[in-house]
C-alpha cells in the first residue's frame, strides 16, 4: 500500500536538449521564410490588418471638433486624407468599415455629447438601411472593442502592427487556417442561409486606415481583378429570405425596419447638428454591373433622395457632377490609388461648400 506522503519523481531523459532547441528554432525559421516567400509570390505584401483595435485607435483620436468619415469600404478606398486636409483645413479621421453599414457608428457619434465636429457619411443604401444582421456586425464589433479593450490587448495590438508592417503572411483576411479552409470547394447544404465571402486581399492599409487598392487589382483582366469582380457578383445578390417566415411577413418586416432606419438616422444627425456639428452625405463612384444592381435594388428616388429629405442635410452624388462622374472603378466598386487622390481633390471643394451651407445652423433634435 502506497504511503500518502510518497512523491512522484519524473525521470528526464538524457538528450541533447540544447541542440534540439536550436534545431526546432531553425526549422520554424526556415518554414516561416518559405511561407513568406510563397505568399509574396502570390502577390501579398506587408500591410496592416484592419482590426477592431486599429479602428479603436482612430475612434480614440476623435476630438470634439474633428472631421470624421464614416461608411463602408468606398470611402476607405476613395478618400485621400492629404487631399481633403489641404482644402478643408482638417485631417479627416477615417472610421469607415468595409462590409458594414455605418449607422451604429453614426449613433455612437450622436450619443457622444462632447462631439460637435463634421461628419462625411457614405451611403450604400442596401448596407446602411438594412436593420441589424451581419451587415452591421463589423461596426458593432469595432465599437465594442473601442469601449472595452484592456491594456494587454492594446499592447498586443501594437506588437502586431510592428510585425504586420514587415511580414506579408500575417493576413487575417486570407491567410489564417480558418480562412484557407474556406477556399475548399465544398457546396453549402441545401437551404443553408450562408452569407457570401468577402473578396480576397486586394488593398493595403496604414495606421490612419488610409486604404489603397493593390496595383494588380487596378489592371483590367488581371487574376486579382477578376477574383474581386466574381466576389461582388456573389455578394451583391440579395440572400434568400428565411424559410421559417412567410415571404409577405418578411417583406413587411424589412419595409418597417427600413422606414425606422430613416427616422433613426434623422434623429442621430439632428443630435450632432444641435451641438453645432455639420453632416454631409456622399454617394461614391461605382460602375458596370455593381451600379446596375444597386440601381435596381435600391433606386435613387427611394433611398438617396428620401435620405436627404428626411435628414435635411446636403448630399453629394457623384453622378450629379461631371468632374466626379468620369472615374472608372477597375473592379466596379472602388477607385484605384491614383484615382482616389484625384477624386478627393475634386470632391473636397464640394464638401467645403456643403459644410459652409450649415455654418452657424443649430437644429434642435426631436424629442
The shares of helix, strand and coil residues in the chain, as percent rounded to the nearest 5, are 50, 5, 40
Torsion angle (degrees, nearest 10) of CA 163, 74, 334, 306: 170
Q: How confident is the model at residue 84 (pLDDT cuts 50, 70, 90)?
A: very high
Q: How confident is the model at residue 115 (pLDDT cuts 50, 70, 90)?
A: very high
pLDDT in tens, 62-71: 999 999 999 9
Q: How confident is the model at residue 363 (pLDDT cuts 50, 70, 90)?
A: low
Which stretches within the chain are classed as H helix? 17-41, 52-60, 73-78, 81-88, 103-111, 125-128, 137-148, 151-164, 177-182, 223-235, 247-274, 288-297, 304-311, 322-325, 337-357
Residue 157 within a domain: no
Residue 200 within a domain: no
Q: How confident is the model at residue 195 (pLDDT cuts 50, 70, 90)?
A: low
Domain with 351 in it: what CATH number? 3.40.50.1110
366, pLDDT greater than 60: no
Look at residue 130 in the predicted model and tell me its pLDDT.
84
239, pLDDT greater than 80: no
Q: How far apart are CA 310 and CA 297, in angstroms?
A: 20
Residue 37 within a domain: no
Look at residue 183 in the predicted model and tell me its pLDDT.
61
Q: How confident is the model at residue 42 (pLDDT cuts 50, 70, 90)?
A: confident
Look at residue 8 in the predicted model and tell me its pLDDT.
76
Domain carrying residue 341: 65-133+210-356
Residue 12 within a domain: no
Q: Which of 310, 298, 296, 295 is nearest to 261 (CA)?
A: 310
Q: How confident is the model at residue 235 (pLDDT cuts 50, 70, 90)?
A: low
For the chain, what is the domain count?
1
Residue 264 within a domain: yes
198, pLDDT greater than 70: no
Q: How far apart are CA 204 and CA 164, in angstroms?
A: 11
333 or 362: which leads in pLDDT: 333
Residue 338 within a domain: yes
Interacting residues of 232 by C-beta distance below 8 A, sequence separation 6+? 199, 289, 290, 331, 332, 333
Look at residue 156 in the predicted model and tell me its pLDDT.
94
pLDDT in tens, 124-155: 998 999 877 778 999 999 999 999 999 999 99
Q: How confident is the model at residue 193 (pLDDT cuts 50, 70, 90)?
A: low
Residue 156 within a domain: no
Locate 7 and state its grid cell.
Answer: 512523491
Three-class DSSP category at 25: helix
Average confidence (pLDDT) over 11-39: 87
Residue 224 within a domain: yes
Mean pLDDT, the chain, integer: 87
Q: How confident is the model at residue 36 (pLDDT cuts 50, 70, 90)?
A: confident
Q: How confident is the model at residue 59 (pLDDT cuts 50, 70, 90)?
A: very high
Amino acid at each position: 500500500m502506497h504511503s500518502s506522503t510518497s512523491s512522484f519523481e519524473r525521470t528526464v531523459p538524457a538528450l541533447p536538449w540544447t541542440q534540439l532547441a536550436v534545431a526546432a528554432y531553425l526549422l520554424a525559421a526556415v518554414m516561416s521564410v518559405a511561407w513568406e516567400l510563397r505568399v509574396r509570390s502570390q502577390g501579398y505584401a506587408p500591410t496592416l490588418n484592419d482590426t477592431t483595435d486599429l479602428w479603436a485607435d482612430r475612434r480614440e483620436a476623435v476630438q470634439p471638433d474633428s472631421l470624421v468619415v464614416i461608411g463602408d469600404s468606398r470611402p476607405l478606398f476613395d478618400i485621400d486624407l492629404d487631399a481633403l486636409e489641404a482644402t478643408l483645413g482638417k485631417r479627416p479621421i477615417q472610421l469607415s468599415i468595409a462590409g458594414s453599414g455605418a449607422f451604429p457608428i453614426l449613433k455612437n457619434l450622436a450619443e457622444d455629447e462632447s462631439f460637435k465636429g463634421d461628419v462625411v457619411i457614405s451611403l450604400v443604401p442596401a448596407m446602411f438601411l438594412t436593420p441589424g444582421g451581419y451587415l452591421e456586425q463589423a461596426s458593432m464589433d469595432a465599437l465594442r472593442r473601442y469601449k472595452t479593450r484592456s491594456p494587454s490587448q492594446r499592447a498586443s495590438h501594437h506588437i502586431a502592427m510592428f510585425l504586420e508592417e514587415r511580414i506579408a503572411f500575417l493576413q487575417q483576411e486570407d491567410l489564417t487556417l480558418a480562412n484557407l479552409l474556406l477556399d475548399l470547394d465544398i457546396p453549402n447544404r441545401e437551404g443553408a442561409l450562408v452569407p457570401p465571402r468577402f473578396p480576397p486581399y486586394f488593398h493595403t492599409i496604414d495606421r490612419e486606415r488610409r486604404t489603397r487598392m493593390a496595383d494588380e487589382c487596378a489592371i483590367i483582366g488581371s487574376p486579382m481583378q477578376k477574383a474581386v469582380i466574381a466576389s461582388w457578383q456573389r455578394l451583391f445578390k440579395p440572400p434568400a429570405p428565411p424559410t421559417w417566415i412567410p415571404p409577405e411577413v418578411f417583406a413587411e418586416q424589412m419595409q418597417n425596419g427600413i422606414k425606422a432606419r430613416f427616422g433613426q438616422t434623422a434623429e442621430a444627425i439632428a443630435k450632432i447638428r444641435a451641438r453645432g456639428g455639420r453632416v454631409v452625405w456622399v454617394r461614391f463612384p461605382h460602375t458596370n454591373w455593381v451600379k446596375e444592381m444597386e440601381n435596381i435594388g435600391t433606386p435613387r428616388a427611394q433611398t438617396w433622395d428620401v435620405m436627404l429629405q428626411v435628414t435635411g442635410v446636403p448630399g453629394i452624388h457623384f453622378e450629379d457632377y461631371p468632374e466626379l462622374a468620369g472615374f472608372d472603378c477597375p473592379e466596379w466598386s472602388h477607385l484605384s490609388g491614383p484615382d482616389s487622390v484625384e477624386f478627393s481633390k475634386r470632391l473636397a471643394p464640394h464638401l467645403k461648400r456643403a459644410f459652409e451651407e450649415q455654418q452657424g445652423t443649430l437644429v434642435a433634435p426631436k424629442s
